[in-house]
Amino acid sequence: GQQVMQIPQYQHVQEGEDFTTYCNSSTTLSNIQWYKQRPGGHPVFLIQLVKSGEVKKQKRLTFQFGEAKKNSSLHITATQTTDVGTYFCAKSGGSNYKLTFGKGTLLTVNP
């Protein structure tokens, strides 16, 4: 089936360093959603991007949707230990009823 590819699979940073995860699709996306799953927890919605070239910010988190709507990124500035978890992108919408998740990027932060 049509997948969204996420890289990297793992990322370990020192507290205070920046972090970026990328999500790529071979087909044009209707929209992209980002979720965070803390260790032992459940996925929690962060944001949805719909428009080509869209950029949204939530405090230290910056989300981008590519101009061609085939890729997206999540950037965290000055990571904190509370940022630890797996970040998933997921494609949805259009004629697609389901939410298809990427494999996720596991972020660990060394205090």
Q: Which is nearer to other proteins, 66 or 102 (CB)?
A: 102
Residue 85 makes contact with other proteins by CB under 8 A: no
Q: Which is nearer to other proteins, 18 or 57 (CB)?
A: 57
Which candidate, 19, 6, 34, places its Cα nearest to that of 82?
Answer: 19
Omega into 8 within 30° of 0, i.e. cis?
yes
| Contacts (CB under 8 A) with other proteins, residues 7-66 | 30-31, 33, 41-45, 48
Least distance in Å: CB of 95 to other proteins?
8
Both tokens assigned to 42: 């459940």
